[in-house]
Amino acid sequence: MRRIAIIVGLCASLVLSAIALGAAPINGATYKGHTKQGLKIKFQVESTGDYIEHLHYDLIENCSNGTQNTNAFTSGFGTSYQIADSGKFHGTQKLVASSTVKSGKVTLKGKFVTSHKATGTLKDTVTFRKSDPNHRGTCSGKTKFTVKTK
């Protein structure tokens, strides 16, 4: 009876270890879902499975002037968000300055819990130029997300 309990305990430990490690994503797949704010997020795993690319999301931010801003972000090309062998991913991308945006950054962190599902946290900060007609100043937002692929 004691041997059975030990074997069951070892099996449970192996299962929990596998869950904690995460999973590998599907190379080239597009993952779509929603943030905890109820807004959309999607990204693609590049063909080798090493990076996340083509990040698109909407995020409600709180601005230094007391208003809220909904940032509709679309990343260009690049490999700012690296995927580890454990299925965890993390990275930060600096925003390119424009006539409205002075500076900013996007941070994406999470893990693939299965090859078809990932969860994580999205965070961004955008500093607008003084010439911004809405006088937003600096806007920041943070939310959790879940994405899936078929």
Q: What is the pLDDT tens value at each position of the chain, 150 positions in all?
A: 666 545 545 444 444 444 455 799 999 999 999 999 999 999 999 999 999 999 999 999 999 999 999 999 998 666 689 999 999 999 999 988 999 999 999 999 999 999 999 999 999 999 999 999 999 999 999 999 999 998
Q: What's the DSSP call for residue 100? A: S
Q: Which residues pair with 73 in a beta bridge?
A: 57
Predicted local distance difference test score (pLDDT) of residue 14: 45
Q: What is the pLDDT of residues 57-99, one digit of tens each?
A: 999 999 999 999 999 999 866 668 999 999 999 999 998 899 9
Q: Which residues have a Cβ under 8 Å from the Cβ of 18 and sit 6 or more positions away? A: none
**Would you list the domain boundaries of the chain?**
23-148
Distances (CA, A) of 85 to 52, 67, 82, 150: 13, 41, 10, 21
Q: How far apart are CA 35 and CA 93, in angstroms?
A: 19
Q: Does domain 23-148 have CATH number 1.20.120?
A: no
Q: Which residues have a Cβ under 8 Å from the Cβ of 49 and sit 6 or more positions away? A: 24, 25, 26, 27, 83
Q: How far apart are CA 64 and CA 127, in angstroms?
A: 10
